[in-house]
Structure 1
């Protein structure tokens, strides 16, 4: 998990922290700037209240985004994923989770529930509209809420990454070919097609003299976001194909675990490093093999293992369901502002409870990973310095 907060924490959902990202106020201001003048033109008698209505719409849109991401999170947990956080940000939102034993079916299910949630909200809004009358502030707000949820739900179902529909394409190709890498690449290319289609869809009315240049610019911005996400997916898929030739077992060194307050004299003996666990059973430090010799024999009963341990960089852990999985399972542990020299590898423990219900099985050293990558690249005639 990241060492710094992604924004303002506003709630917790089934143990998962929910944040408003630092960039979200930007989209809120854009909504007020765009929606406010439109309301003011429709109802000049409302005056400044038109902008208050626009601000209320921004809040309702935030609720819709959080509902979308909450659906991903809840279904993800039901599928066995460890969900780390929910964040509403400039581009809508995202749910971060670890899924060491993901399947195509689970991936598709987690993806589709987000858009379906928006469509359910749109249906509820439409029903409320049929029961209301007039053109007051509440009616206008409900109309905007219904339209936006319908649009977001349908748009997210378009078949290309980074949209949720892209994960469905990914899951389908993954299921048919047995390769997640091929699924990612296919969904990425579909995402590029969707990005081009979005621009063309907005461009045609402008060329006919019927559309708005502002709308074209807005959809072009969305298309740029889609293209960037799709291109990232293609790159990830390509890299995953390369990395699929290296297994976690090839780079992992076995390790054992112990409580952080264990006396040095009680540490497990042997050539393996000892991972120290904190109060919540999370890895906090590692005792290198042979480190106990630095403590005089007569003091080892009184000195805690944490005194001779090396702290683990925040987030330097990886959950692996099977050590024969490819090393993409451990790579996220090496990401962050500070590249860790070591990542602790854990396996899900069915009898244990989340959020730290995993058992330590080993560690991966950055130096071992780099040697494995260079050796695999050499075997394939690739130069990692240029890829």
Structure 2
């Protein structure tokens, strides 16, 4: 029950489309339905007095009702995001509930907060409707329908309140992220604060479910301990993933030709190697780009090949002999930064792993794909 930016389409069965995005049932969703139906059967038996197969039918109905609530939670995320100009890419129901994926991160703290709060608000509204139906006597007491409505009220109330805990990957974590982002002006600072808060809640939940009962000698069911540990693990993994993504995004935002490019000088195609090296040394530039007769960046000097040429022969060796050709189009706008620059590099490095960076038509640097990858992963 969180939002994320997808790296690829989730695997599973597409059962429809809403708001222009596919609704996907992940394979793990089936496992969740089976496990939750089996675990819920004993509670259904106690509440309704049913026996046999009918117990599992009612348990399955409760599980499907719960996932319907989860879907409405995710749909609320998507619809609010779409209203704010952020198109949802997919709604996915999984083992852990669900998530809504978008094509990019929210552009402002306000959008982040509004999208995040929409999901829990729907769950709390559903809980209120269910409780209201019971309180108004719209559902007869002691019936299977009353049991389902009551369970729906409790489940939606829990899901809504739990998701408001201020730690990633929960929706409350997005609210905390938005608040810190708004105050500091840094999305990264907001994500880090919310990520560490999520890790803190994960530790507290694990301690409460597994450690505290043993220390305090409190009776606590094995199933409860297992579920508590699993949810704690989910929170820890989600929070850690958010922190990793935040660091990667910070690196992406900081990518520029100045940070990933190697300063370059240019020489004509008829220049000698000695002249090219002298020009580079005078400018303290590690790269040399060779221009074609029409002024286009046509090649770059291979430093290893250049070093293999004896000093006495450098003056008579054409620079093209020790150069690697640059295909037409293997160049980027040197004024771009962040994601726009990476998009251009993604396009041009398909032509060549080394490209020229130009500012106002003048070559200023050589950018190597390996340097860009290293900068993002740093």
Instruction: Using the TM superposition, give the Cα deviation of residue 143 of structure 1 relative to its aligned residue in structure 2, in angstroms.
Output: 1.1
Q: Using a 3 Å threshold, how does the CA distance of structure 1 residues 13 and 182 change in structure 2: closer, same or farther?
A: same
Could you tell me whether the CA contact under 8 Å between 1:183 and 1:237 is conserved in 2?
A: no
Q: Using a 3 Å threshold, how does the CA distance of structure 1 residues 47 and 229 change in structure 2: closer, same or farther?
A: same
Structure 2 counterpart SS, 1:160: coil
In the alignment, the residues of structure 2 paired with residue 31 and residue 138 of structure 1 have an alpha-carbon distance, to the nearest angstrom, of: 19
Instruction: Using the TM superposition, give the Cα deviation of residue 3 of structure 1 relative to its aligned residue in structure 2, in angstroms.
Output: 6.7
Q: Which structure dedicates a bigger proportion of its chain to helix?
A: 2
Cα deviations across residues 145-185 of structure 1 (Å, max 9, x unaligned)? 11111100000000100111111111111111111111111
Identify the match of residue 224 of structure 1 among 225, 230, 233: 233
Q: Using a 3 Å threshold, how does the CA distance of structure 1 residues 341 and 68 change in structure 2: closer, same or farther?
A: farther
Q: Using a 3 Å threshold, how does the CA distance of structure 1 residues 188 and 151 change in structure 2: closer, same or farther?
A: same
1:372 is aligned to 2:372: yes
Identify the match of residue 241 of structure 1 among 236, 243, 250: 250
Instruction: Please provide the CA RMSD for this pair.
Output: 3.3
Cα deviations across residues 104-154 of structure 1 (Å, max 9, x unaligned)? 110111011011111111111111111233211111111111111110000
In the alignment, the residues of structure 1 paired with residue 337 and residue 33 of structure 2 have an alpha-carbon distance, to the nearest angstrom, of: 42
Instruction: Using the TM superposition, give the Cα deviation of residue 41 of structure 1 relative to its aligned residue in structure 2, in angstroms.
Output: 3.9
1:107 is aligned to 2:112: yes
1:1-387 equivalent positions in 2, closer than 5 A = 6-99=11-104, 102-130=107-135, 131=137, 132-203=139-210, 204-205=212-213, 207-247=216-256, 289=328, 326-327=338-339, 342=350, 368-374=368-374
Structure 1-normalised TM-score?
A: 0.66
Q: Using a 3 Å threshold, how does the CA distance of structure 1 residues 135 and 328 change in structure 2: closer, same or farther?
A: farther
Which one has a bigger Cα radius of gyration? 2
- Aligned residue for 1:352? none
Q: Using a 3 Å threshold, how does the CA distance of structure 1 residues 221 and 81 change in structure 2: closer, same or farther?
A: same
Instruction: Using the TM superposition, give the Cα deviation of residue 328 of structure 1 relative to its aligned residue in structure 2, in angstroms.
Output: 9.3
Could you tell me whether the CA contact under 8 Å between 2:48 and 2:144 is conserved in 1?
A: no
In the alignment, the residues of structure 1 paired with residue 249 and residue 113 of structure 2 have an alpha-carbon distance, to the nearest angstrom, of: 19
Structure 2-normalised TM-score?
A: 0.67
Q: Using a 3 Å threshold, how does the CA distance of structure 1 residues 68 and 45 change in structure 2: closer, same or farther?
A: closer
In the alignment, the residues of structure 2 paired with residue 153 and residue 214 of structure 1 have an alpha-carbon distance, to the nearest angstrom, of: 22
Q: In the comparison of the two structures, how many residue pairs are matched? A: 286
Could you tell me whether the CA contact under 8 Å between 1:185 and 1:235 is conserved in 2?
A: no
Cα deviations across residues 37-65 of structure 1 (Å, max 9, x unaligned)? 22224445442101000111111111111
- Aligned residue for 1:381? none
User: Which consecutive residues of structure 2, in runs of 5 or more, have no partner in the other structure?
Assistant: 1-5, 262-295, 297-326, 330-334, 352-366
Structure 1 counterpart SS, 2:168: coil
In the alignment, the residues of structure 1 paired with residue 124 and residue 337 of structure 2 have an alpha-carbon distance, to the nearest angstrom, of: 36
Cα deviations across residues 250-274 of structure 1 (Å, max 9, x unaligned)? 889xxxxxxxxxxxxxxxxxx8xxx
Structure 2 counterpart SS, 1:185: helix
User: Which consecutive residues of structure 1, in runs of 5 or more, have no partner in the other structure?
Assistant: 253-270, 272-287, 291-322, 335-339, 344-366, 378-383
